[in-house]
């Protein structure tokens, strides 16, 4: 994916701010100065400053110019939780009403559904492309497509992966009915009921649901609020147990929004090699970076076939486009069988639509605008939470995606908080749905994947009064 034009100057400013060379209050060069220096247009410089403001790094003072922000960007991230490697049965007290949208007719302010909101789904683009496809291909769309997916679509996905240095082999690629189906297939390809697998803790409830349905046992591996997935903890777990697989989200983990460095990704891979653990990698948020280049998946570094990587269009286009993919590495033969048994081919209309969108520049244009909007939303939401929730509330500033993981002070009556939010029509995702244990009872997740109307801003302020 191409860099934004403004990165020629924002990268330098950003680096200087993050490394403390430019202190809060430091006056930054004017639009005119930067235009001269970089020989670029005024609108590129203005877009760049807008982007730096969206990231919370810069503030504009009317009639004076741009300054390094006084605001502390990472607000008091939650402390690391102390967990031990315990093998648990996947017994889950889920509350689907709180974790998925019921669209109950009542106008709710929902911050609990991790998918683009109605105003950010590229509706016109998707519907127009679907209509074109139907017009052009007619009855051809009514036949069976290859069970593993259309060749053309697979080639498009392979080309895109190559832009972030990831080489996928067409013989290891399966088109699936969304990311969760890809995960289901991946797990059934590497383990069976009763086996032990490792998962991130916290872990999104839908992934835990799949684990529960497959009757697997789990060891929850803590995700450290500062450093991400606890690699040493995984090593210990593998020393004392036969761990068949680990499910990881190295790029913008849901719910913390953390991004692993390449060193951390390599460390994970080396444990997988040492203990022969299949690494099932969720890359569903990988395209939604706020800054810098699109991060690589772990798959990029794997030459053994032990990594199974999956993604879908649910987070980047629309959750109703039921289309995902799985690069199954060494496990392809079994994955193909499972996929076939689940009903074979994914809807040809979705396959052709996604193939067309991903093969041109249309998707890139959409994603650039979407990422920019998300970066702005993240900044706005963090500030709203920090300004309105009680002292002692802590949170992690996400590096991408659209989730914020919030911890309430220890003395919060969390049940009362949810009850009162529900009464006034505000919904967050409760922390207890992110684990089979009670570790995250005082946490909740806020999704910022829709435009912020005044009503939604007021909803967060109202919820804060009940905390
Ligand atoms: C980590 C993760 N995996 C999978 C899914 C589901 O994706 P899909 O709708 O493509 O099945 C979600 C969204 O809920 C998610 O957050």
- pLDDT tens column, 375-404: 999 989 998 999 999 999 999 889 999 999
Do 173 and 307 belong to one domain? yes
Q: Write the CA distances from 376 to 166, 251, 369, 398, integer angstroms.
A: 29, 19, 11, 12
Q: What is the CATH number of the domain that holds 35?
A: 1.10.10.10
Do 326 and 450 belong to one domain? no
Domain-located, residue 117: yes
Do 159 and 106 belong to one domain? no
Q: Are 264 and 216 in contact (CB under 8 A)?
A: no
Query: Does the pLDDT at position 93 exceed 80?
Result: no
Do 275 and 174 belong to one domain? yes
* Atom 7, ligand 1: residue with shortest CA distance: 179
Q: Which candidate, 363, 301, 351, places its Cα nearest to that of 149? A: 351
Last residue of a domain, one of 311, 338, 361: 361
- For residue 284 and ligand 1, the question of a CB distance below 6 A is answered with yes
Furthest C-alpha separation in the chain:
66
Determine the pLDDT at residue 17.
Answer: 84
Do 410 and 321 belong to one domain? no
* 314, 342, 398, 404, best to mutate for ligand 1 pocket (most atoms within 8 Å of CB): 314
Kindly indicate the confidence band of residue 82, based on its pLDDT and cuts at 50, 70 and 90: low
Rg over alpha carbons for the chain, rounded to the nearest Å, is: 22
Kindly indicate the confidence band of residue 184, based on its pLDDT and cuts at 50, 70 and 90: very high
5 vs 38, higher pLDDT = 38
Rounded to an integer, what distance in angstroms lies between the CA atom of residue 440 and that of residue 398? 18
- For residue 271 and ligand 1, the question of a CB distance below 6 A is answered with no
Determine the pLDDT at residue 103.
Answer: 45
Look at residue 279 and give its three-state secondary structure: strand
- What distance in angstroms lies between residue 314's CA and the mean position of ligand 1's atoms? 7
Helices H, strands E: what count in the chain?
15, 17
Place of tokens 């409760």: 430
Please give the mean pLDDT across all residues of the chain.
Answer: 90
Poorest-pLDDT segment among 59-63, 315-319, 423-427:
59-63
Do 268 and 302 belong to one domain? yes
- For residue 100 and ligand 1, the question of a CB distance below 6 A is answered with no
Q: Are 256 and 403 in contact (CB under 8 A)?
A: yes
Q: Are 201 and 85 in contact (CB under 8 A)?
A: no
Q: Distance between the two ends of the chain, CA-based, in angstroms?
A: 41
Domain-located, residue 420: yes
- Nearest ligand 1 atom to the CA of 180 is 11
Q: What is the CATH number of the domain that holds 457?
A: 3.90.1150.10
Domain-located, residue 78: no
Domain-located, residue 85: no
- For residue 289 and ligand 1, the question of a CB distance below 6 A is answered with no
Domain-located, residue 86: no
- What distance in angstroms lies between residue 180's CA and the mean position of ligand 1's atoms? 6
- For residue 204 and ligand 1, the question of a CB distance below 6 A is answered with yes
Segments forming the whole domain that contains residue 43: 7-68
**Cβ neighbours around 195 below 10 Å, total:** 17
Domain-located, residue 76: no
Do 338 and 415 belong to one domain? no
Question: Which residues on adjacent β-strands are paired with residue 251?
Answer: 259
pLDDT digit string (tens) for 131-176?
Answer: 999 999 999 999 999 999 999 999 999 999 999 999 999 999 999 9
Last residue of a domain, one of 305, 338, 361: 361
* Atom 13, ligand 1: residue with shortest CA distance: 114
Do 310 and 183 belong to one domain? yes
Q: Which residues are CB-contacts of 115 (< 8 A; sequence separation ≥ 6)?
A: 314, 315, 318, 319, 449
85 vs 446, higher pLDDT = 446
Do 37 and 159 belong to one domain? no
Rounded to an integer, what distance in angstroms lies between the CA atom of residue 415 and that of residue 428? 12
Domain-located, residue 24: yes
- For residue 382 and ligand 1, the question of a CB distance below 6 A is answered with no
Domain count, the chain: 3
Kindly indicate the confidence band of residue 367, based on its pLDDT and cuts at 50, 70 and 90: very high
Do 133 and 166 belong to one domain? yes
Its pTM stands at 0.86
Last residue of a domain, one of 334, 361, 388: 361
The mean per-residue pLDDT over the stretch 442-456 comes to: 93
Q: What is the CATH number of the domain that holds 310?
A: 3.40.640.10
Poorest-pLDDT segment among 84-93, 114-123, 328-337, 447-456:
84-93
Do 347 and 283 belong to one domain? yes
Look at residue 327 and give its three-state secondary structure: strand
Do 50 and 170 belong to one domain? no
- For residue 178 and ligand 1, the question of a CB distance below 6 A is answered with yes
Domain-located, residue 84: no
* Size of the chain, expressed as the number of residues it contains: 467
- What distance in angstroms lies between residue 428's CA and the mean position of ligand 1's atoms? 17
- For residue 398 and ligand 1, the question of a CB distance below 6 A is answered with no
- What distance in angstroms lies between residue 169's CA and the mean position of ligand 1's atoms? 24
Q: Name, of 90-94, 169-173, 435-439, the range with top average pLDDT.
A: 169-173
Angle among Cα 459, 321, 280 to the nearest 5 degrees reads 90
Q: Write the CA distances from 348 to 145, 171, 275, 294, 419, integer angstroms.
A: 7, 20, 40, 29, 43
């Amino acid at each position: 994916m191409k860099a934004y034009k403004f990165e020629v100057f924002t990268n330098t400013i950003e680096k200087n701010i993050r490394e403390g060379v430019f202190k809060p209050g430091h006056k930054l060069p004017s639009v005119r100065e930067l235009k001269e220096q970089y020989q670029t247009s005024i609108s590129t410089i203005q877009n760049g400053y807008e982007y730096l403001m969206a990231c919370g790094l810069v503030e504009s003072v009317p009639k004076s110019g741009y300054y390094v922000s006084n605001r502390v960007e990472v607000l008091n991230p939650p402390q690391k939780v102390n967990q031990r490697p315990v093998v648990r049965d996947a017994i889950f007290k889920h509350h689907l009403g709180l974790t998925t949208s019921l669209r109950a007719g009542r106008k709710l302010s929902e911050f609990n559904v991790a998918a683009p909101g109605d105003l950010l789904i590229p509706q016109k683009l998707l519907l127009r492309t679907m209509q074109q496809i139907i017009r052009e291909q007619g009855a051809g769309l009514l036949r069976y497509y290859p069970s593993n997916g259309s060749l053309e679509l697979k080639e498009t996905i392979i080309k895109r992966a190559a832009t972030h240095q990831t080489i996928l082999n067409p013989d290891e690629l399966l088109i699936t009915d969304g990311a969760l189906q890809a995960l289901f297939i991946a797990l059934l390809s590497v383990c069976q009921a009763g086996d032990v697998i490792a998962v991130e803790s916290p872990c999104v409830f839908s992934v835990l649901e799949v684990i529960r349905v497959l009757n697997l046992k789990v060891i929850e591996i803590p995700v450290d609020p500062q450093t991400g997935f606890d690699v040493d903890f995984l090593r210990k777990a593998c020393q004392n147990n036969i761990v068949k697989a680990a499910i990881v989200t190295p790029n913008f983990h849901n719910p913390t929004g953390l991004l692993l460095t390449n060193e951390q990704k390599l460390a994970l891979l080396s444990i997988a090699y040492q203990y022969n653990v299949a690494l099932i990698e969720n890359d569903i948020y990988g395209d939604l970076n706020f800054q810098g280049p699109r991060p690589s998946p772990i798959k990029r570094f794997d030459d053994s076939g032990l990594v199974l990587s999956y993604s879908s269009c649910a987070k980047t286009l629309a959750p109703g486009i039921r289309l995902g993919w799985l690069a199954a590495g060494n496990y392809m033969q079994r994955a193909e069988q499972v996929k076939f048994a689940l009903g074979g081919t994914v809807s040809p209309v979705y396959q052709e639509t996604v193939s067309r969108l991903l093969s041109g520049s249309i998707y890139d244009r959409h994603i650039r605008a979407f990422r920019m909007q998300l970066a702005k939303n993240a900044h706005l939401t963090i500030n709203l939470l920090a300004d309105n929730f009680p002292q002692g509330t802590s949170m992690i500033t996400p590096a991408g995606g659209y989730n914020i993981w919030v911890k309430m002070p220890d003395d919060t009556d969390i049940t009362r908080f949810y009850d009162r939010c529900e009464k006034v029509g505000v919904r967050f995702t409760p922390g207890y749905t992110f684990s089979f244990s009670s570790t995250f009872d005082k946490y909740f997740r806020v999704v910022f994947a829709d435009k912020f109307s005044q009503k939604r801003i007021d909803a967060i302020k109202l919820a804060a009064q009940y905390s």
